[in-house]
């Protein structure tokens, strides 16, 4: 079982490397993506995960399909598939910025405000090496920027001025 590493792990503080073209479409890359999706799905409050968060210094992040799924469908267990971004680049950011509260699965139970662009566009590759572009606003734009920070070795705690700690929910 793949574990999400925490802020003390050195891999979170170093830039990730490109996924080699030879890995596209491979069983190895499919397993990495499956491991990331599984680790993300285990976290009720998780919306995205970058490969460095499972100790792999690769430029990959996954956005949970649940953020694109209506509540009724979620209740019935019908979430949309996760979105996979390989070797992503932020190709456009709005000039309009907004302070948004953030947390992180690798910085558990700490939260802080980070000023982010309200709209963002990412160009990346899918698991088979097909290039695509995806734009988002609000939460999706925030996710894009947060995950791109992970791929650069930056945590949200490096950007926030004030960190608040919350008590984790009771785990049965």
Residues 6+ apart with CB under 8 A from 92: 119, 120, 121, 135
Name the 3-class secondary structure at 93.
Answer: strand
Beta-bridge partner residues of 48: 63
* Cβ atoms of 119 and 134 closer than 8 Å: no
Nearest to 7 by CA among 139, 143, 140, 103: 103
Report how far apart the first and last C-alpha atoms of the chain are (Å, whole number).
20
Task: Please state, in angstroms and rounded to a whole number, the distance separating the CA atoms of residues 76 and 94.
Answer: 36
**Catalytically annotated residue among 76, 147, 162, 165:** 147
- Separation of CA 110 from chain center: 17
Asked about 89 being catalytic, the answer comes back as: no
Beta-bridge partner residues of 62: 49, 84
Nearest to 107 by CA among 157, 146, 61: 157
**Residues classed as catalytic:** 147
């Amino acid at each position: 079982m793949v574990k999400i590493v925490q802020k003390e792990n050195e891999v979170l503080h170093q830039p990730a490397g490109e996924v080699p073209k030879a890995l596209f479409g491979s069983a190895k890359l499919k397993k990495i993506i499956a491991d990331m999706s599984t680790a993300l799905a285990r976290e009720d409050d998780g919306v995205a995960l970058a490969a460095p968060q499972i100790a792999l210094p690769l430029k990959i992040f996954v956005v949970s399909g649940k953020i694109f799924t209506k509540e009724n469908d979620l209740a019935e267990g019908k979430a949309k598939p996760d979105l996979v971004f390989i070797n992503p680049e932020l190709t456009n950011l709005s000039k309009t910025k907004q302070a948004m509260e953030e947390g992180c699965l690798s910085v558990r139970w700490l939260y802080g405000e980070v000023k982010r662009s309200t709209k963002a566009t990412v160009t990346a590759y899918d698991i088979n090496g097909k290039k695509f572009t995806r734009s988002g606003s609000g939460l999706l734009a925030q996710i894009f920027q947060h995950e791109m920070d992970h791929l650069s070795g930056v945590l949200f705690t490096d950007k926030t001025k004030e960190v608040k700690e919350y008590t984790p929910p009771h785990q049965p």
